[in-house]
Structure 1
């Protein structure tokens, strides 16, 4: 397993209540952690701030209990309020420099990379790791610019030292490909959330990352 000391979290779960339905999403999160997930990101695009905060607080209790990092998607204020480990933002969210200016080093910052040109951006100075999104196009995210593919992932790997998180239709067939192409972390949604046995699915995915 090529563990990057800057991002020692090979199996990354992105979770939402809807992605787990009809299963209880918190139960899925716990089963996934027991199975081998190293980090969880809460992504609730449809929730208002109060509902998102409520979920974030409950998930933070769980991730703290198991000692794994919690990342909040987009909602920087919520991430800061619950003292999450990190925040993940895209091109249309509060940008890394602004987050760093407001919160200092309180939050680890992940940034979605959609074009190679972003590597030249001054924002890169404030980014801890990059979400390479999507590796393969995915029904859970329709507003994307580039479908990177394995070739694009390799190109990015040769162009930056930043930890790379591969996301977008990552499943049992594609996880190992992305890992071997140089991803430091594999982010999954439905491969765990929609699994009949999230604990076993997590363990099987983790076993591929060798």
Structure 2
């Protein structure tokens, strides 16, 4: 799949903590109905076999919706499920090693908290950067927050697109206006809501305001 900056407008990251009796596939379908533009499958506790089966199932949903499926951390799951790419953090496999394994056609996202990390990731072959945590977040309790100024500096320093992540909600998304970020990555702001599709719709509208995007 060809990756474009507008894929980052509303980037949803899965989390089993919010299933509340629903299946992950059901939640993802609702998020797709609400207009998410990218999906990251993030699993920290599933067995490898279960993760792979889930990735294959979710890949079909993402493909039919025309949005990229990104696998968190696991290159082999990405390749075996034919997902569209991988996202790695600073403490995961080095970005250049991930790129070597993925080849040139898969999407590579890298987390960055500083301009130096951002430039290194771009040099290593990243297609986009995830920058944050912008606000305190319940998903990663140990995450240090990143300032608006740092987000803006990173966006200005690199030529690849940046998605802001971490504690972003309807209440604070517009605080990121003018940063240069191409979108927002969210977890609980979509998947913890009773009406996932409606939450995604509202966030997408706010993300468009934040980025100045008038059309998809």
Same fold (TM > 0.5): yes
Structure 1: any 5+ residue segments left out of the alignment?
A: none
Count of residue pairs the alignment pairs up: 205
Structure 2 equivalent of residue 65 of structure 1? 64
CA contact (8 A) 1:97 1:123 kept: no
CA contact (8 A) 2:164 2:184 kept: yes
Structure 2: any 5+ residue segments left out of the alignment?
A: 210-216
Give TM-score scaled by structure 2 length.
0.87
CA deviation string 1:69-127 (max 9, x = no partner): 10000011000111111110011212221122223113210000022321343763311
Give the superposition deviation at 1:179. 4.5
Structure 1 residues 103 and 120: alpha-carbon distance in aligned structure 2, compared to 1, 3 A threshold: closer
Q: For residues 125-140 of structure 1, what are the structure 2 equivalents within 5 Å?
A: 125-140=124-139
User: How large is the Cα RMSD of the aligned pairs?
Assistant: 1.8
Secondary structure of 1:50's match?
Answer: helix
Give the superposition deviation at 1:191. 0.9
Q: For residues 74-85 of structure 1, what are the structure 2 equivalents within 5 Å?
A: 74-85=73-84
Give TM-score scaled by structure 1 length.
0.90
Whole-angstrom distance in 2 between the partners of 1:106 and 1:143: 33
Structure 2 equivalent of residue 118 of structure 1? 117
Whole-angstrom distance in 1 between the partners of 2:32 and 2:140: 24
Q: For residues 45-194 of structure 1, what are the structure 2 equivalents within 5 Å?
A: 45-121=44-120, 124-144=123-143, 146-194=144-192
Secondary structure of 2:63's match?
Answer: helix
Secondary structure of 2:163's match?
Answer: strand
Q: Within the alignment, does 1:8 sit opposite 2:6 as a pair?
A: yes
Give the superposition deviation at 1:7. 1.5
